[in-house]
Structure 1
Amino acid sequence: MSDFDDRDRILLAGLAFYGYHGVMLEENKLGQRFRIDLELGLDMSDAAKTDDVASTVHYGNVYNVVKEAFEERRFKLIEALGHHIIVRLFGAFDKVDWIRIRVRKPEAPLPIVAGEVAIELLRTRDQI
């Protein structure tokens, strides 16, 4: 994964959504909060040189795709939700080479006082 550490990326962190994803009946009925962190890898050298938004991916458009993907269907597993969001982002933005997503469930149905559960996926375009 270190190949990705030195590359350009767009970051969206702590995006909060309310949804009905999960295995447990209570999660499907009552819903819960989710947090999503994203890294989208792309070459931003032209955008840096030209100051032209057409040379990059607009993060507002990224948010819109994530929100739509999050809300369009229910998933039992946050792994499947994360994969679905990645597929939709690759479909929407040709300039993106790789995506890292972390889907967090701060209120997962576990007997813990503090903490959260999360998954993290890292995919290149050819892995979808």
Structure 2
Amino acid sequence: MDKIHMQGMEFYAYHGVFSEENKLGQRFRVDIVMEADLREAAAEDNIEKSINYAEAYEAVKDVVEKEQYDLVETIAEGVAANLFKNFSILKRVNVKVIKPDPPIPGHYDHVAIEIVRGRQ
């Protein structure tokens, strides 16, 4: 299967289990890898036969910025579902939601969850 990568998309949102996260908000990064058969798009040189990056970005942004969730797992599931809804050629998607600054003590680069979903 062919893959389209979109890495390091950044958003500011109000997700989290702690009330401070819901009030103050924080940065989130999202990486996606979308799998689809892109041969027809390439053969015809036609964006309508592929997945438009700008539209994919908006599909991710809609989930991350418009709703409020406790868990990053819920964000990832919502992103996957919205991408499947918007792109009929999408067969499988890997979604990684990264919280660079979670409110937990310690030294680390970030925390993240990653899911892989296929079209049902």
Does TM-score exceed 0.5, indicating one fold?
yes
Equivalent residue of 1:71, what SS?
Answer: helix
| RMSD between aligned residues | 0.9
In the comparison of the two structures, how many residue pairs are matched? 120
25, 29, 33: which one pairs with 1:31?
25
Gaps of 5+ in 2: none
Gaps of 5+ in 1: 1-6
One-letter identity of the residue aligned with 2:29: R
Equivalent residue of 2:9, what SS?
Answer: strand
Aligned residue in 2 for 1:67: 61
Aligned-pair identity in percent equals 38
Deviation at 1:75, TM superposition (A): 0.5
The separation in 2 between residues aligned to 1:55 and 1:88, in whole angstroms, is 18
One-letter identity of the residue aligned with 2:15: H
How far does the alpha carbon of each residue in 1:22-53 deviate from its partner, in whole angstroms, 9 at most, with x for none? 00111111110000000111000111222111
One-letter identity of the residue aligned with 1:30: L
Q: Which consecutive aligned stretches of 4+ in structure 1 deviate over 3 angstroms post-superposition?
A: none
Normalised by the length of structure 1, the TM-score is 0.90
Aligned residue in 1 for 2:8: 14
One-letter identity of the residue aligned with 2:3: R
Q: Is 1:121 the counterpart of 2:118 in the alignment?
A: no
Normalised by the length of structure 2, the TM-score is 0.96
74, 91, 96: which one pairs with 2:90?
96
The separation in 2 between residues aligned to 1:55 and 1:117, in whole angstroms, is 35
